[in-house]
Amino acid sequence: MIQRPHVLLSAAVSLDGYLDDASDTRLVLSNEEDWARVDGLRAASDAILVGANTIRADNPRLLVRSPELVAKRVAEGSPEQPVKVTLTRSGSLDPAAQFFTVGDAEKLVYAPPGVVTGVKATVVELSGLREVLADLHARGVRRLMVEGGGAVHTQFLTEGLVDELHLAVAPFFVGDPNAPRFVGPGAFPRGLTLVESTRLGDIAVLEYHATPEPSDVDIRHLREAIALAENCPPRTFRVGAVITAADGEVITTGFSGDGDPANHAEEAALAKLEPGDPRLAEATMYTSLEPCSSRTSHPRSCTQLILDAGIPRVVFAWREPSVFVDCVGAETLEAAGRRVIEVPALAADVRRANTHIPGVHL
């Protein structure tokens, strides 16, 4: 798995999904309030990326405008402005473009060898979005904002490299097939969840998060967790848990009833480690069942134990149906910034191990 920045893709579109019209002047798809919102997103980013065609068409400055937001960045120890990043294959970039000449942010141009000359920027001879993202990560970029245009959006989305999508929808149609579209044709991932919709004047802002996909390694460890539940004493809710370090090595395991009859699987696994084990800061918790968020037998829920242990990532198979208790483990972990991956494809295996519990059916 490549280490890459968190990617937020932001665009403004017409009702029929265009980024602009076909005229030489830029179509206004936003209003002041929406610009302020975009400014906030820029200020929260380490870098902003656009395609070379957007530089040629719009000549954007790609700066954080608000002096307050700039001051806040500086106070937090960030550079005044995010790094500006572009991609080109042709190398056709005007050295006088505002991307290069306005503001003293660091500038990066990713291009094939030898095609870019004469611009005031660091030229990195790389193509392929994954290589570009890995390089940005190596340069310290943890949050990347992608601001167009359509060709760039299409690649990021079809390659599954977008974590958040923010769309501002303007209340009119463009209706011109020669105008640039938000995205071109392609095989797009399906898993987007609408997390927010806001009205800014007559602009609708839609915010989506990508549903994270489990890797093959995740599936393997989750199956191990599910298999561990076979060790549970009879009559209990049968759950297994596996914790791995950053390199994928299993550092502890547990199952419900392990150690203490009242122990939950996650709790039993954590109890075998020293509190504050440094490996937990980059660990993944695999558990066959969504971590519980409230319980009567022990003071802390498994969700709370995971939060307290600092585990950043949780992979689970079965979301407990609300007939038992109203579990908000996944939501609580997500709200605290932890990555939560649900693998419903393996939920049937967990239910099968628990058909002795009233209310659990295959």
Ligand X SMILES: NC(=O)c1ccc[n+]([C@@H]2O[C@H](COP(=O)([O-])OP(=O)(O)OC[C@H]3O[C@@H](n4cnc5c(N)ncnc54)[C@H](OP(=O)(O)O)[C@@H]3O)[C@@H](O)[C@H]2O)c1
164 counts as binding ligand X under rule CB under 6 A: no
In what side-by-side order are the strands of the sheet with 240-244?
250-255, 240-244, 284-289, 313-318, 339-342
Q: In angstroms, rounded to a whole number, what is the distance separating the alpha carbons of residues 58 and 165?
A: 21
Task: For residue 92, give the 3-state DSSP assignment.
Answer: coil
When binding is defined by CB under 6 A, the residue of 9, 49, 54, 333 that contacts ligand X is 54
What are the backbone dihedrals phi and psi of residue 155, each rounded to the nearest 5 degrees, phi first? -65, -45
- Among 325, 354, 336, 229, which Cα is nearest to 286's? 229
**Token representation of residue 57:** 């068409």
For the segment 13-42, give every residue that binds Zn ion (CB under 5 A). none
If binding is defined by CB under 5 A, does position 238 make contact with Zn ion?
no
The nearest distance, CB 215 to ligand X, in angstroms, is 23
Q: Give the pair of three-digit tokens for residue 78.
A: 């960030």
For residue 133, the minimal CB distance to ligand X (Å) is: 11
CB nearer Zn ion, residue 9 or residue 239:
239
Cα–Cα distances in Å, from 103 out to 55, 98, 312?
Answer: 15, 8, 36
Closest contact distance (angstroms) between CB of 225 and ligand X is 38
**Nearest alpha carbon to residue 282 among 254, 303, 309:** 309
Per-residue DSSP letter, 181? B
Tell me if 149 contacts ligand X by CB under 6 A. Answer: yes
Q: Does 312 help bind ligand X (rule: CB under 6 A)?
A: no
CA angle 286, 291, 297 (to 5 degrees): 130
Q: How far is CA 324 from CA 75, 294, 347, 351, in A?
A: 47, 12, 16, 14
Q: Per CB under 5 A, does 292 bind Zn ion? A: yes
Residue 12 interacting entry, from ligand X, Zn ion, none, C-beta within 5 to 8 Å by type = ligand X
95 CB contacts (<8 Å, ≥6 apart)? 101, 118, 119, 120
Q: Helix, strand, coil % (nearest 5) of the chain?
A: 30, 20, 50
Q: Are 153 and 20 in contact (CB under 8 A)?
A: no
Subset of residues 192 to 251 that bind ligand X, contact rule: CB under 6 A: none
Of the pair 92, 101, the CB lying nearest ligand X is at: 92
Q: Tell the smallest beta-carbon distance from residue 266 to Zn ion (Å).
A: 6
User: Binding residue for ligand X (CB under 6 A) from 5, 180, 257, 291?
Assistant: 180
Size of the site for ligand X (CB under 6 A): 28
Residues in 118-147 at the binding interface with ligand X, rule: CB under 6 A? 127, 129, 147
Q: Give 151 or 307: the residue with its C-beta nearer to ligand X.
A: 151
Q: Which of residues 4-43 bind ligand X (CB under 6 A)?
A: 11-12, 19-20, 26, 29
* CB 113 to ligand X: min, Å: 12
Q: Is 137 exposed, middle or buried (0-12, 13-18, 19+ CB in 10 A)?
A: middle
Complex with ligand X: residue 156 or 316, whichever CB lies closer: 156
Q: Which residues contact 286 (CB under 8 A, 6 or more apart)?
A: 218, 221, 222, 224, 225, 241, 242, 243, 244, 314, 315, 316
Is 264 a binding residue for Zn ion by CB under 5 A? The answer is: yes
Position 90 contacts ligand X (CB under 6 A): yes
Among 9, 70, 302, 340, binds Zn ion (CB under 5 A): 302
In the bound complex, what is the minimum distance in angstroms from residue 295's beta carbon to Zn ion? 6
Near ligand X by CB under 6 A: residue from 34, 58, 290, 320: 58
For the chain, what is the radius of gyration of the CA atoms? Answer: 24
Q: Which does 264 bind (CB under 5 to 8 A by kind): Zn ion, ligand X, none?
A: Zn ion
Which part of the chain contacts Zn ion (CB under 5 A), choosing from 27-35, 80-88, 158-166, 260-268? Answer: 260-268
- Binding of ligand X by 92 (CB under 6 A): yes
Q: Which range touches Zn ion (CB under 5 A), out of 171-179, 253-261, 294-302, 345-353?
A: 294-302
Binding site for ligand X (CB under 6 A): 11-12, 19-20, 26, 29, 50-54, 57-58, 87-90, 92, 127, 129, 147-152, 155, 180
